[in-house]
Structure 1
Amino acid sequence: MGRERELKALKSEFAANRAALVVAYGRRRIGKSRLLREAALGLPEIYFQATQSVSAINMEQIKIEIANVLDASPILDGINTWEAVFHYLADAARVKPGLILTLDEFPYLVSNDESLPSVLQRFWDSGKPQEGNLKLVLCGSAISQMEDLLAERNPLYGRKTMSLELRQMSLREVGAFFPSYSAEELFKTYATFGGVPHYLSLCDNDVDLRMNTVNLLLSPTGPLIDEPTNLLQSELREPGTYSSIIAAIAEGSLDLSRIGDRLKMSTTSLLPYLSKLERLHIVASVRSLDADPKARNRRFVLNDHLMRFWHNFVRSNLGAIVAGHGEAVYDHAISGGMSEFMGSAFESICLDYSSKHLGEILGVPASEAGSIWGHADFDIDIAGRTLDGSFFYGECKWKSKPFDLSMLMKLRERSELTKYGGGNESKHYLIFSKSGCTHDVARLSEHDPSVHMISLQEMAFATRRDVEATMSSS
């Protein structure tokens, strides 16, 4: 479900008439294993998930998996080194061309045998994998360790044929999990659970967001009630410090000095922690698009929707949740604050849409997308540049009031106040509004090619062409 682009790329790599060395990585529960297995469907594959055991135990287990696919063999029984395993499979690939060997949780193997990357290098350079187009897939959740495999100083540098980092799924991909949800329900669900496939698979499409939230996050036995804590504990040392940094950002401390003041930490000591959170795509460091690239006025924002929701609503109500009052927490603490919460979440989703899908609206994709802030008189929610050199500016409104002409005029004025895009005659104005726009704005957008009204339905489900076809047939 979802991941069509990544799935297509992997299938193409597996179908290529050559050997392959694929490195796939991403944080836990992001869907790496499922994607790799789906890409290998119908192909000869040996899938092995390593464990945190001694090397001898993993060796015995992989030999069992090999025998299950290739049948038992006295030669296989006598193998006791990883290099021998690889050569055995290279010989097997001559009979089964394109044989795939997937080593999941590869860092576990390396932690017990640090020579393994060098062994793989020697095997790859020997030319044996090319004889039967053997496909080697190295997969892991330890992002820093997996990236380290590709670093220039390490044995496998320059040998990969494909690297794939899996991140959270987009709003449109998440829609496949909730076919009965309206666009507005889908936006709220995405802002609550984010784009991690495991979290979404726990949701029930047959119940509303309220009950999914209560069942998964607001119940003492809910499978996600401790997920933010568990994620940090599994990925990082000192999870308490990382959690405190995330809490500070969630509560509005967005720059380095304010986070430091809140936690009583120096800005220098904070940077390594923030860097690791950025690497996990939990936190992002952003600057205003009209700021000097060398300027230090950067903000830190939460990239992970579930993490943000948890710190806004769950953490402060854990006592009531553990006491069994999850539904009351939703009705009294969450329902009243959801509109404000959705305001900033909506901006984040609109920014992602602008980065990935703006070509549907403007006819050419964005080359960069961000926001403009730090001015005494104005901010601009969405701004960016397209590949043809045009600039765009957008306003995001998650309110019951339709977007009116005064709001559009204010957006135009602000676009003239910023030096970003200054002097460029080709400018577009994007209106992202939950409640649509007034009639005068709608009429203006019909005659002014620079004004674009973008609906929740377009963002969540379809291209503009699909939406127009649906509207014309109704």
Structure 2
Amino acid sequence: MTRDLLVKPVDVVDRDREWGLLTDFLTDPDPAMRLGIVSGRRRHGKCYLLQALSEQVGGLYVTAVREEGRLPAIQRFGDAIAAHAGLRPGSLRLTDWRDVLSNALDVTARSTHPLLVIDELPYLLQHSPEIPGLLQQLYDERQRGAPSGAAPGPRLILCGSAMSVMHELLSGTKPLRGRAVVDLRLGAFDYRASRTFWKIADPLTALKVHAVLGGAPGYRPVAARPHPDGGFDTWLTGTLLDPGRAVYSRTETEHLLREDPRITQHTLYYDILTAIAQGATTPSKIGAALERPRNAVTHPIGVLESTGYIRKEEDVLRSKHPVITLADPVIRFNQLITLPQAAAVEQGFAEQVWQQAAPTFNSKILGPHFEDLARDFTRRYAHTLLPGGLPGPVGTTEVADRAARTKHEVDVIALAAGERPQSPHAKVALLGEAKATAARRGTGDLERLERIRALLGEQGYDTAATTLALYSLHGFYPDLVELADRRDDLLLVDLPALYGS
């Protein structure tokens, strides 16, 4: 089977780049063993992708089970190897992991594309930490002695949801460091692909669904009924605010936090997540919100960042001004909406809770999420509209206005391609303001951006070709639209444009 025959199945949505990378890995004709690492958050579709790949080539796909003991795991893996080899269950009496792994590699090596996938590896490492060391030995043994022209060697993919555990496999002095040719970190769908995947016709509904669930494809099977297009409020109270549903946000948040074995003090981590959701953006502010010293929250913040539950982004123009935000919409929804009213929700008052939570949703969830998507749009799609094409780093900043004794927060700033963040005389490609309020945007918003552009020019930045962009959830006043038609430096992005209409 050649690479061209490994066509991505129609049920695998998006993921063209990832499928191509895994296909190249699998069809490499080298007779030596090759190793790949695939990691990603829960519900991001890792298992679905790897199962589809394994099915196409007849590979051996085995998944670990949480809290399964060492001996039962060895026996179950042995039975899976026997079944793959056409033997009856129990015919392979394997007693240790070296025998299990060696036999698995030998059995799969008989295929045209010898693929072995071990999913949820971190569960195995809890009782069998020796596995990476054994894999190192088997890998090194299979680098030698393969004659030229021999069949491709075994292809091993290790997969897991505990991000910190998976990333450490290839770090420092770990046994597998320097041996993997693939380190694929599977992210969620972007907001446009997510809308397509959910088959949501209305872009505002698509935006709201993305604001509470993000682009994780694994949520659709458990939250697609009733369909969001039938009414977002009805859909939300019947999913994220229904304690009887698997996607109930409080339960889902607990599952997410349990993925990382280092998260043991759940109360502290919950409090940190709540503080960030409510607007604390630095370790000092988070510590103050919890009435704890800064150094008491530094380690758990690092853990949450390594797991992908929070992100730390540097100011594009100013050094040493990181901004901490929540990366997971479900956690943000839980901390701001569900958790404060959990008792009422679990007593059946979801509709009333949701009505009362509308101001919080609009100001602390929908508004910040719209700003995130404005930056995402600028990174992924604005190059077709900008005079300079593909922009460089995209993020946020603050610009001091000494004359007015104030600071201007900039929702979207993009440097020109090739520029580095925090460079003192960087070329600024775009300055933007994103508003999810009910009001349309007008010339007053444009004047504010023009003032910021002038200030940056006075501070030494190159703003000669800077595009001014306004992102609006509810459109623009006609005079601003007419002005944009006459100006090459003004970009208006409403909700249809955000979604590519």
TM-score by length of 2: 0.85
1:34 aligns with 2:48: yes
CA, structure 1 residues 40+441, in 2 after alignment: closer, same or farther (shift >3 Å)? Answer: farther
Alignment of 1:47-196 (within 5 A): 47-51=61-65, 52-72=67-87, 77-127=92-142, 131-196=151-216
Residue deviations 1:32-51, cap 9 Å, x none? 21121123331121111112
Q: Distance in 2 between matches of 1:60 and 1:374?
A: 62
Consecutive unaligned residues of structure 1, counting only runs of 5 or more, are 468-474
Residue identity matched to 1:9: L
Residue of 367, 376, 387 corresponding to 1:343:
367
**Matched residue, 2:414:** 384
Change (3 A) 1:28 1:410: same
Equivalent residue of 1:192, what SS? helix
Whether the 8 Å CA contact 1:320–1:329 is kept in 2: the answer is yes
> CA contact under 8 A between 2:120 and 2:159: conserved in structure 1?
yes
- 1:444 corresponds to: 483
Task: Choose 367-376 or 45-54, whichever is displaced more.
Answer: 367-376
Amino acid at match of 2:182: M
Q: Are the structure 2 counterparts of residues 119 and 203 from structure 1 closer, same or farther at C-alpha, using a change threshold of 3 Å?
A: same
Q: Of 435, 449, 460, which aligns to 1:397?
A: 435
- State, as a whole percentage, how many aligned pairs show the same letter: 22
Q: Given that residues 290 and 418 in structure 1 are in contact (C-alpha distance below 8 angstroms), is that contact kept between their aligned partners in structure 2?
A: no
1:186-335 alignment, distance < 5 Å: 186-204=206-224, 205=227, 207-223=230-246, 224-226=248-250, 227-235=252-260, 236-291=263-318, 293=319, 295=320, 297-330=321-354, 332-335=355-358
Please list the CA deviations of residues 346-389 of structure 1 after superposition, one character each: whole Å capped at 9, or x if unmatched. Answer: 11221222223332322632321111127423111100213265
Q: Is the 8 A contact 2:62 2:80 kept in 1?
A: yes
Instruction: Sort the Cα spacing of 1:88 and 1:229 in 2 relative to 1 into closer, same or farther, 3 A.
Output: closer
Where is the helix percentage greater, Structure 1 or Structure 2?
A: 1
2:395 to 370, 374, 382: 370
* Secondary structure at the counterpart of residue 403 of structure 1: coil
Contact preservation (8 Å) 1:288, 1:374? no
Question: Does structure 1 conserve the Cα–Cα contact (< 8 Å) formed by 2:434 and 2:470?
Answer: yes
> In the alignment, which of 55, 58, 71 is matched to residue 44 of structure 1?
58
Q: Pick closer, same or farther for the CA change 1:325–1:158 going to 2, 3 Å.
A: same
Deviation of 1:107 after TM superposition, in Å, equals 2.0
Q: Counterpart amino acid of 2:497?
A: E
Q: Secondary structure at the match of 1:136?
A: strand
- 1-structure distance, mates of 2:307, 2:166: 13
441-450 or 313-322, which deviates more = 441-450
Paired letter, 2:18: E
Decide whether aligned partners of structure 1 residues 234 and 214 sit closer, same or farther in structure 2, where only a CA change above 3 A counts. Answer: same
Corresponding pairs, count? 458
User: Partners of 1:80 and 1:407 in 2: how far apart?
Assistant: 70
* C-alpha distance in 2 between matches for 1:298 and 1:180: 35
Matched residue of 2:55: which SS?
coil
Q: Is the 8 A contact 1:93 1:132 kept in 2?
A: no
Distance in 2 (CA, whole Å) between partners of 1:423 and 1:387 is 13
Give the AA of the match of 2:135: L
- For 2:412, give the aligned amino acid: I
Q: Which moved more, 1:242-251 or 1:365-374?
A: 365-374
- Report the Cα offset of residue 214 of structure 1: 0.8
TM-score (norm 1): 0.89
Name 2:376's counterpart in structure 1: 352
Task: Tell me how far 1:190 sits from its aligned partner.
Answer: 0.7
Contact 1:385–1:391, Cα closer than 8 Å, also in 2: yes
Which has the higher mean CA deviation after the structures are superposed, 162-171 or 217-226? 217-226
- 1:248 CA drift (Å): 1.2
| Cα displacement (A) at 1:142 | 1.8
Query: What is the SS of the residue equivalent to 2:444?
Result: helix
Q: Which amino acid aligns with 2:63?
A: Q
* Separation in 2, partners of 1:178, 1:75: 43
Report how far residue 182 of structure 1 moved. Answer: 0.9
Distance 2:106 2:465 in 1: 60
Q: Determine which of 16, 35, 38 is the counterpart of 1:21.
A: 35
C-alpha distance in structure 2 between counterparts of 1:53 and 1:77, whole Å: 20
Give the CA RMSD over aligned residues.
2.5
Give the CA deviation at 1:337.
4.1
